[in-house]
Amino acid sequence: MVTKLSRRIGFKLIVVVGLTMIITIGVYSYFNTRSQRENLLAEVERHAMQLSETVKNGTRYDMLFNQRERIHIIINDIGSDPAINEVRVLNKEGEIIYSSRAESIGRMVDKQAESCYGCHAADKPLERLSISERTRIFRIHPDSARVFGVINPIYSERSCWDAPCHAHSKQQQVLGVLDVTISLADVDERIRASTFQVGIFAVSAILAASLIIAFFVNQWVSKPVGVLLDATKQVGSGNLSYTVPDLGKGSIGLLAQSFNTMTMKLSEARLQLFQSDKMASLGRLAAGIAHEINNPLTGVLTYASFLLKRSQNNPELHEDLKIIVRETIRSREIVKSLLDFARQSIPKKSQSDINEIIDRSVAVVEHQLAIKGLKVVRKIDPHIPKITLDPNQMQQVFVNLLVNAADAIEDNTGAVTIASGILRLPPQGIVHIKAARCPSGHDLITTEYKIEGIPAIRVKARSNGDEGFIMLDPIYGLNRHRYEFEVLEGKQLDVVCPECNVSLMMEEGRCPVCGSNLFSFSIPAQGDVEFCIKPKCAWQRWATVDSVGKKVYAEVCVADTGVGIPKEDLSRIFEPFFTTKGQKGTGLGLAVIWGIIDNHNGTISVESEVGSGTTFRIRLPIS
Amino acid sequence: MSKPIDILVIDDEQVVRDAVCRVCGADGLTIETAADARTGLEKLHKNTYRLVVCDIMLPELNGFHILDSMKRVAALTPLIMITGYSTMQNAVDALKNGAIDFVPKPFTADELESAIHRGLRYHTLTQNPASRREGEIDLSSLAVPCPVEYHRLGNLSWACIESNGSGLIGVTDLFVKTVSPVGEVHYYDLNCEIVQGSACAEVASEDGLVHNVLSPISGRIVERNEALLASPKMVEKDPYFAGWLYRILPTDVAFSLKQLTPCIGDH
């Protein structure tokens, strides 16, 4: 990847989401552990208090009767429990009277010590303590387990000073203290384990969530953004034919679609610009060529025609000179047609025999082909009626096609066939709609958008508050329409003129195929064309043209058995300056041919298979 | 004043100068040549010529400069413009700026000969002192001017747009006078598209020369004056009415007419 990891949007997203997760889960885990610890300690406290009360109650009777041995036994028994650290009873002076640890008995306890601090912190000892003030947590040694201690003051009561044995005076309120300490080793172990568990849970939750987010961010954001980024780079470097693959129906998918539409538009605009630029340079080139070639041609034509007049008595020379003059005049017409092509001029039409033009064209190239060892096969239909056309331009077309055909064949290996015939064709797929008007007279033909090189018919469609253009196929019946916006199934669609917004919808009539509404526009002097509104329904009707029925065409095919044209070149071969001949060709030949045929209201198409040959098919209407 | 030289050819191409010399020399005409406009103008200043044949594209000053300079000194020598860059615009501009004819290169010997013949005839017509008024050529004394509602291309052909949008075209009386006596008229085919400033018909004179008629407007030929085929002399007798050539369906009337001279100023 060219982009630095830290700059990529996916990485940033993952970092931001990850941090949020760490904070949330961290805070949650902290409070969770704390509350668990508090609960456990509270439980220990309750347990200790209970124990303390039980010891106090259990020894009360023996205390009253001063059964010291029995008290020793009880305290020893209770203190033998491993969870219990020590159970001891202190008298008012701080002397340990009873203890589960025998060695402690008789020792004085420092009143400043941990166990006494609760009451003796103030100078005068307190006599009543709240429960939380009676508990404490401490360590006996810095490295030993924590210990929980609870002191339980033994208050004086009537039976104490009434007892026959002795001892306590009536004024004494607190007789001593029962101090129970419980080891927290177990509890601490549990707290540690649970903190560890929560920590593990938090870390794995953060990791798992981050991985899942990373996966989906990568899938939904990084990858498509990367694809889009690659596309922008491709387009940026000039590859306008690059399209982004389908990225689904989400925002990024829509972005990709509009990106594709944008590049398509851009490439069309560039092509148009390029084309007009080419046309402009072609104009300059033509002017230069005309001037440069016409001067030497003047020499040839003037001298030849001058000699022609003076060679009446030499029939052989006269005939030869005639050919020179005729062919020079043809050259003059070719140069003129180059100028005319640059200025889109009109052919000089007259009633001509197409077979005669074929014969003349073959005669011109036959010698050239014979040198290459190629034969020209003529398959002529002699019954073709005369057609109104420019014989010079048409000869130029045939000669160019024959020369192209010969160039495609290796020497001595094949044949060039030129065939003529009559064809009856229905108007569908043939008739070119060259003019279209809305009811207010606006021209609907747009040169900004072409379908297969022919200016399309542009209408505006509205559906559900959405609107966009529909580019209709200018060839009647072919239906290669382009929709510039998505037409939703079952939505009401309204078609209007892009200039004045006047509706093109027909009030009456339904599509005979699918029953949908129809829209129509008029063709100057040739009636109306009707279209079905449904994009998937291919119904259209042009009554004026349909009523004529099948039209008669003269068809001329020029076929070779040569190398063929690769598919990717096939759609471009009629473009000006497109050449596969390298330095040998100007790339103008087929463009000029296309222009000439178009000026004759005819069509030219090409079929080719690499390795087996190419066929050019010209159809000219016979009126 | 010495005897005038027949023709001055101004062209930067040796072969074109040679070709004109060859063709005209064979007809016994005297010729001088110049390879550029400056030399041409010097020669025009020094000598008298009956006709100038001039190229448009010349180094430094072009053919239109020569026309301007000649107009400034009120030179009466007629000029035929020839060019290899034979666009409609060049033809129209040359004729509008005072050239008496326009011949696109390459031309045949016949085309050159007939143009030179017309040019010399034009010169002869203007030599009559009655044709001068205040030192300028008074065209109306040479030939019958076009009717006021007509438009003309130079002094060669006229167009008359009718109310239905179609237009009649024909040749001027001056053109007829430079080609007469008329022998035959050769038409182009019906429905043929013709272009303003380009040949659209041929008028053959009795001496065997064939003269191209330059069309005053662009359009399609929808009708031909068939009567003229039977009696070509009609074009001499009545070039503006009975002697019309074609009815044209013009491609762009407004544009075509803008390029022409309205005949109302000729009266």
Q: Does the CB of B105 have a partner CB in chain A at under 8 Å? A: yes
Question: Tell me: the pLDDT tens digits for B228-259?
Answer: 999 999 999 999 999 999 998 776 677 788 88
Question: What is the DSSP secondary structure assignment for residue B3, as one 8-state letter?
Answer: P
Q: Does A388 touch chain B (CB under 8 A)?
A: yes
Share of chain A above pLDDT 90, in %: 13
Judged against a pLDDT cut of 60, whether residue A623 lies above it is answered with yes
Same domain, B119 and B11: yes
Decide if A482 is inside a domain: yes
Kindly list the residues from chain A whose CB atom is less than 8 angstroms away from the CB atom of residue B22.
302-303, 306
- Residues, chain A, total? 623
* Total beta-carbon pairs less than 8 A apart between chain A and chain B: 92
Judge if B11 and B132 occupy the same domain.
yes
Question: With pLDDT > 70 as the criterion, what percentage of chain A qualifies?
Answer: 88
Check CB contact under 8 Å for A295 and B109: no
3-class DSSP assignment, residue B56 = coil
Question: Do B168 and B252 fall within a single domain?
Answer: yes
User: Is residue A339 included in any domain, yes or no?
Assistant: yes
Distance from CA of B8 to the nearest CA of A (A): 18
**Whether A286 and A385 share a structural domain:** no
Q: Does any CB of chain B come closer than 8 Å to the CB of residue A339?
A: yes
Chain A residues in contact with B84 (beta carbon < 8 A): 290-295, 298
Residue A1: what pLDDT? Answer: 44
Query: CB under 8 Å, gap of 24 or more: what pairs does A134-141 form?
Result: A135/A45, A135/A48, A137/A41, A137/A184, A138/A114, A140/A85
Place of tokens 């020893």: A76
Sort out which chain A residues have CB atoms less than 8 A from B252's CB and list them. Answer: none
> Does residue A73 sit in helix, strand or coil?
helix
CATH no. for residue B75?
Answer: 3.40.50.2300
User: What confidence tens digit (pLDDT) does each residue in B56-102 have?
Assistant: 988 888 899 999 988 887 778 999 999 887 778 888 999 998 899 99
**Domain membership flag for residue A104:** yes
CA A254 to chain centre: 7
pLDDT at position B179 is 92
Indicate if A471 and A572 belong to the same structural domain. no
Residues B199, B90 share a domain:
no
pLDDT tens digit string along A422-469?
Answer: 988 887 777 888 888 888 888 888 877 777 767 889 998 887 777 888
B210 has a chain A CB within 8 A of its CB: no
**Inside any domain, residue A285:** yes
Supply A465's token pair: 């508050």
Count the residues in chain B: 267
Choose, out of A285, A289, A305, A329, the residue to mutate when testing the contact with B (most B CBs < 10 Å).
A305
Any domain includes A436: no
- Rounded Cα–Cα distance for residues A600 and A433 (Å): 14
Answer yes or no: is A464 within a domain.
yes
Give the end of a domain, one of A543, A570, A597. A543
- Residue A240 phi/psi, 5-degree rounding, is -80, -10
B259 and B169 co-located in one domain: yes
Task: Identify all chain A residues contacting B20, using CB atoms and an 8 Å cutoff.
Answer: 302
In a domain, A1, yes or no: no
* Distance of alpha carbon B109 from alpha carbon A301, whole angstroms: 7
Whether residue B128 is found in the same domain as residue B148: no
- pLDDT score of A342 more than 70: no
**B91-125 pLDDT per residue, tens:** 899 999 889 999 999 999 999 999 999 999 999 98
The amino acid at residue A542 is W
Q: Is A351 on the interface with B (CB under 8 A)?
A: yes
Q: Are residues A49 and A186 in the same domain?
A: yes
Question: What is the crossing angle of helices B109-127 and A251-310, to 10°?
Answer: 70
Q: Using CB atoms, pick whichever of A303, A328, A347 lies closest to residue B22.
A: A303
Task: Provide the residue range defining the domain that includes B126.
Answer: 5-136
For residue A248, the domain's CATH number is 1.10.287
Search chain A and give the residue with CA nearest B109: A302
Within the 211-250 window of chain B, which residues sit less than 8 Å (CB to CB) from chain A?
Answer: 218
Alpha-carbon separation of residue A328 from A291, A358, B17, B109, B112 (angstroms): 15, 19, 19, 13, 16
pLDDT reading at A344 higher than 60:
no
Are B254 and B148 in the same domain?
yes
B13–A contact, CB cutoff 8 A: yes
Interface contact A295-B16, CB threshold 8 A: yes
**Does B192 contact chain A (CB < 8 Å)?**
yes
How close does chain B come to A581, measured CA to CA in Å? 29
Higher-pLDDT residue of A220, B32: B32
| A302–B22 C-beta distance less than 8 A | yes
Using CA of residue A307, residue A294, residue B117, residue B34, what is the dihedral sign?
negative
Residues B151, B225 share a domain: yes
Q: Do A57 and A178 fall within a single domain? A: yes
Q: Are residues A256 and A310 in the same domain?
A: yes
Q: Does A295 touch chain B (CB under 8 A)?
A: yes
User: Where residue A56 sits, what CATH number does that domain have?
Assistant: 3.30.450.20
Q: A245 and A124, same structural domain?
A: no
CB nearest A295 (choices: B13, B26, B87): B13
Taking only the tens place, the pLDDT of each residue in A461-471 is 887 777 888 88
What confidence tens digit (pLDDT) does each residue in B23-47 have?
Answer: 999 989 999 999 999 999 999 999 9
Q: Residue A605: name the closest of A432, A385, A355 by CA.
A: A432
The answer to whether the Cβ–Cβ distance between A332 and B106 falls below 8 Å is: yes
Q: Pick the residue from chain B with its C-alpha nearest to A284.
A: B85
Range of the domain at A125: 43-190
Q: Are residues B118 and B151 in the same domain?
A: no
User: Is A431 within a domain?
Assistant: no
Q: Running DSSP on this structure, what letter comes out for residue A547?
A: H
- Residue B187 is part of a domain; what is its CATH number? 2.40.50.100
Contact yes or no for B53/B25 (Cβ under 8 A):
no
d(CA A82, CA A102): 16
Same domain, A471 and A523: yes
Count of the separate structural domains present in chain B:
2
Is A511 in the same domain as A468? yes
For the record, the structure tokens of A592 come out as 């000029």
Q: Are residues A109 and A153 in the same domain?
A: yes
| A587 pLDDT above the threshold of 80 | no
B135-160 average pLDDT score:
88
Asked if the Cβ–Cβ distance from A350 to B191 is below 8 Å, we say: yes
Q: Cβ B193–A346 below 8 Å, yes or no?
A: yes
**pLDDT of A276 above 60:** no
- The amino acid occupying position A456 is A
Residues B48 and B111 grouped into a single domain: yes
